[in-house]
Structure 1
Amino acid sequence: MPVSASMIIGLEDRLLTFAVNLLIGGMALHVGTHVVSDTREYAHAVLTALLGALVWALLEPVPLLGGLLAVVAWVAVVKWRYRHGWVRSSAVGIAAWAAAVVVLAALELAGIGSVSTLGVPGA
């Protein structure tokens, strides 16, 4: 099957959407870590968001307990990447979720409603 120009443009659009969603998720996680504890650099938060999104994508489809397993695994990723305990990592998650909701609401008000957060569950 030959590759058409529309396939390449479609791929570019999907990659751009992925990158924007990941950067927003990383920003929310960066804000969450800043609120709860000492923060690291933004790139650390973006990589953590990517790893958290991968764990979420793998576990969330599991029947019955997928959502619970995915949340626990996501918090475990934050715990591992930031060297916090379970309570502080959970607090980072709550703060990151709140930051993501605020950013998404602001983007919606600005007329940009087609973005989401990658790496922050439930936002």
Structure 2
Amino acid sequence: MNWNPFKRKSVGAPTVVIQHDELNGALAVLAGAFGDGMTADQTGPGFTCAEADSVARVLALTGYKPEAVTWLEGHASGDEGDDSHFLYENDEGGEGHVMNADEIASYVEELAA
């Protein structure tokens, strides 16, 4: 019998247990990619708000909050009207605006809570 100490059975799909150092390394690479301003600006608007929030949440929960903010700034640059990162509250002109850096930073804190 081939026994693998990093796998365990579960109900439904199998769960893979990853060694801590491997996961940290993979998360650092992921944060570097999504937290890069050019990547965020060029690819972020192509993600739905829910998808972008999922990426930002993983980054924020794993200690990469600045990268999560950069990612959402790039994503939100393409938001308009009914999108999650477009606000009407506290907007003097009533036309709404894309979340600014401070608003995105607060939003990331909420995602990580």
TM-score (norm 1): 0.32
If each structure's helix is expressed as a fraction of its own residues, which one has the higher value?
Answer: 1
Pick 1 or 2: higher relative contact order, CA cutoff 8 A, min separation 6: 1
If each structure's strand is expressed as a fraction of its own residues, which one has the higher value?
Answer: 2
